[in-house]
Structure 1
Amino acid sequence: MPRRRRDPRFPGEPWDPGLQPERTALSWQRTILAMAVGAMVLSATAVRLDQPVLTVLAALVGVMVLVPAIFRSPDGGMPSHGRLRSWSFLVRLAGLVMALAVLGVAVTVVSLIDMTA
């Protein structure tokens, strides 16, 4: 008779000791890489539009994404008390996604204004 899995509501041992934490960590690394590439593309676009302020802001978002990721990347694991260790990292990354989106809209608006002028 096969052994039953433990109930995930009991914190005695991890309910998925397999590769899920590694997959989660890898997915966040891909997100960070995509954010860095997006910031570089946005910065290059702002350079082509001759917008130094937007160029610097986009490059700053790229640096703000990479520096925390280099020093402490999320590992995707859950400690025994059940609280996600990387919550502050994920909140910071979500804020940077929003900042990059706002900068993208700003570059688009500047581009449209330059086209009409």
Structure 2
Amino acid sequence: MKNLVLTIAALAALAPPAAAQTVTCRTEAGRAICHDVYGNVVTATRDALGNTTWSDQYGEEVKVRRDAMGNTTTKYSDGSSVSTRRDAMGNTVVRDEKGNTLRCRVDAMGKTRCR
């Protein structure tokens, strides 16, 4: 299961934003409120340190912290966390709190290759 989570996180980090997802966002009182085509509502707030907290209407919460080097650490409401960074070769490296690591890159043909 964790490999699936790591793969999804790596692919999401590599994927460009797709207009086909049709998400509508608006800024209101210092926070972003986004609606997707399925009626889900997600709210994002940013604190003074630049950390972002995403929460949905079901009470799930995700905290995203980005450091000065561009690495991100994502903490989920169940207590698990995933860190995402780029290595020297341009690979996206995703690591969970148990130390499981997945490296992904997009090849010249546009296919994502993970190991």
* Alignment TM class, shorter chain as reference: under 0.3
Q: Which has the larger radius of gyration?
A: 1
Of structures 1 and 2, the one with the larger relative CO (CA 8 A, separation 6+) is 1
Higher helix share: 1
Higher strand share: 2
